Chains A and B, each alone.
Chain A
Amino acid sequence: MSTPILWIVVPGVIAFVLIFLLRRRTISMIVAILTALILSGLAWWLEVGEVITFGPWAFKIQEQLTVAGRSFVISNLDRPQVALFYIVLAFWFIGALGISTPPLFIPLGLASVAIWIAALAVQPILYAALLIEVAVLLSVLMLTPIGKSVNRGVLRFLTYQTLGVPFILLAGWFLSGIEVEAGNTQDIVRAAIFLGFGFAFHLGIFPLHGWIPMLTETAHPYVTAFVISTMISIGVLFPVGFMQRYPSLYEEIDLLDIFRFLGILMVLVGGAWAAFQRHLGRILGFAMILETGRTFLTIGLPEGDQMLFALYIPRILALGVWAFSLSNLKAHSEDLRFHAVQGLGRKYPIIGAGLVLAQFSLVGIPLLGGFPTYLILWEQSAVYGVWISLGAVLGSAGLLIGGLRSLAVLVMGPEEVSGPQDDRGRIFSNIIILLGVSAMFIIGIFPQWFVPALTSISGTFGSLTP
């Protein structure tokens, strides 16, 4: 038994079996939630390399699996990250109990996270690009339910992700050349350029960000939020991993400066565009662009690796509650443009509150989940110049305007709307939203319970400073 078998192959096999249970949605969801929780628990407690006795049996978990000469490695240092990814997956699946999601969401969601973890574990790292593409293809299937024509957002998403693959493969090839012939400046610069283009396509870095709002506008909000937030959260670890593995990238180019610049650019773009949108789904998309920017900004800061994981839970929680509320709203109004959702906040107050409070949490409003970590981010970024900190705050201000406009539209209908008509399904959804909002407040009010544990997760990514 090895860790890659446990955290990559086993969930992959379970996901495959779940495809045959598409018609039994509840069973499929419960199995997937339990799987994610058990895998997360095992990642938290199971010591790799130590002999484990189980009754008459004793076995040792190896950290490496070799396939066709290439290895997948999940060591003790990686376990906290794996635990975090699976607990977050369980969070998304639990949320899916309260809304109608495409049938393939559960099996392919489980499979895609397993593949993302495989991409993080594979060595040499250049193989990751192809595994990411496989995860993208699964995501495309999740985003295109049977019975509905493929929408343009999904097509744009697939196109951009696929175009990113060759760049990362080429970067990997140039970097392997650097390993052989150290100090080859030309190859280092070429590798950095290709790597930059590759991840610009993958992570939707400005100006290649168009697919994100297009996707959130046209596809299922909850599934889209899951796909994009997974890409931001796990995908961003790859450029960091490349930098860790090839320190010569640092020596020739000031990558941290580039990360800070890209970060602030995306925060400003996300915030500015979010302020002027007239579609609730597109605001979510630009909030995700803003979050990608914050992530890049964090990488560019000292001890950014620790901050990276501290941002993770508040972000996922807010995006989850936002997307969940939006999906509920979409069940009542197929069109999420402002003119179509006017007054729906009065008819569905808890859904409306969940949607707006989640936006405010991502803005960094005090008492909500995002505030403690964003405050640290703004403080630390000020060390590199007031303009960086100011840009980060301006981006949040843009999202705040978007949130206030959403609130105004949801409560100010052209005419009176009838009062709430709760049914059993809606009560369950409301409970989930209330739990999510409560969690956002708890994280915001008692950050000392969460932030220290999350900052210690950085594991193999260690310090990013050369």
Chain B
Amino acid sequence: MNVTAVAPFAVVWVGITALILLVSRDWRVSITALGAQYVGIFIFVALVWPVEYAVVKLITGWISAAILGMGLVDSAEAWEDQLGGWVSGTLFRFFIAGFVGFVAFALTPSVARWVLRASEVQIMAGLLLIGLGLFHLGLTAQPVRIIIGLLTVLSGFEIFYATMETSLLVNAMLAVVTLGLALTGSYFNAAGLEGGT
């Protein structure tokens, strides 16, 4: 597979998945979008790494999504959040996503001067994920959504970082952090359920 050819489409792909994470009210849709997001991340990492190493990001992301999903199966109500009215809340989030997209597009040339080894599509995707992840964090107080926001921000960072640091140990430890965050999110659900508070 020629990953360079599909990279521009992957920018749109991660943008859509991050947008779904922002607006979705169904945990199943969100977990699926999180898993799909890691396909995009895999493509961007595979641009600079051998595919057999890049696939670690994909597998880690999918396992994280699965861990979070399993935690939510028994506590779907934990997903409920104050998203506002259906139309107004969704429109607001679309507007924010558009704004972040615009900022990511505008900032790409400046960031490219810092991160010399990254291509424009990688920078744009990284900025898009970091921006939407941060907005996600700012718009929610629900534990699992916060974990998803953090995972999104870290994913964006990992795209940049893969172009800078090729050490397998660092990236293995980043994978440990990703899995640790997912386990923590799952623990939050379990801890709350145990006492029913």
Tell me, yes or no, whether A binds B. Answer: yes
- Give A contacts to B, CB under 8 Å: 67-70, 126-127, 130-131, 133-134, 137, 140-141, 144-150, 152, 155, 158-159, 162-163, 165-166, 169-170, 173, 190
A residues less than 8 Å from B149 (CB atoms): 159
Given contacts A140-B184, A148-B197, 6 further A-B contacts (CB under 8 A): A130-B173, A130-B177, A150-B191, A150-B192, A159-B137, A166-B154
CB closest residue in chain B, given A140: B184
What is the CB-to-nearest-CB distance from A309 to chain B, in angstroms, rounded to a whole number?
29
B70 on the A face (CB < 8 A): no
CA distance A152 to B143 in the complex (A): 9
A residues less than 8 Å from B143 (CB atoms): 150, 155
Chain B facing A: main interface SS: helix
B187 on the A face (CB < 8 A): yes
What is the CB-to-nearest-CB distance from B111 to chain A, in angstroms, rounded to a whole number?
12
From B150, B176, B177, B184, give the contact of A141 (CB < 8 A). B184
**Does B181 lie within 8 Å of A162, measured CB to CB?**
yes
Q: A146-B195, A150-B143, A155-B141 are in contact. Are A137 and B153 (CB under 8 A)?
A: no
What is the CB-to-nearest-CB distance from B191 to chain A, in angstroms, rounded to a whole number?
5
CB closest residue in chain A, given B188: A150
CA distance A197 to B62 in the complex (A): 30
CB closest residue in chain A, given B164: A173
A/B interface sample: 23 pairs, CB < 8 A: A68-B168, A69-B169, A126-B170, A127-B170, A130-B173, A130-B174, A131-B173, A133-B177, A133-B180, A134-B177, A137-B180, A144-B187, A144-B188, A148-B192, A149-B195, A152-B141, A155-B141, A155-B143, A158-B146, A158-B184, A169-B161, A170-B161, A173-B165
Chain A facing B: main interface SS: helix
Task: Count B interface residues, CB 8 Å.
Answer: 33
A residues less than 8 Å from B154 (CB atoms): 162, 165-166
CA distance A146 to B187 in the complex (A): 9
**Does A147 lie within 8 Å of B195, measured CB to CB?**
yes
CA distance A152 to B157 in the complex (A): 25
B residues less than 8 Å from A190 (CB atoms): 114
What is the CB-to-nearest-CB distance from A448 to chain B, in angstroms, rounded to a whole number?
45
**Does A137 lie within 8 Å of B169, measured CB to CB?**
no
CA distance A163 to B133 in the complex (A): 11
CA distance A133 to B181 in the complex (A): 10
A residues less than 8 Å from B169 (CB atoms): 67-70, 127
CA distance A169 to B172 in the complex (A): 14
**Does A147 lie within 8 Å of B150, measured CB to CB?**
no
B residues less than 8 Å from A69 (CB atoms): 169
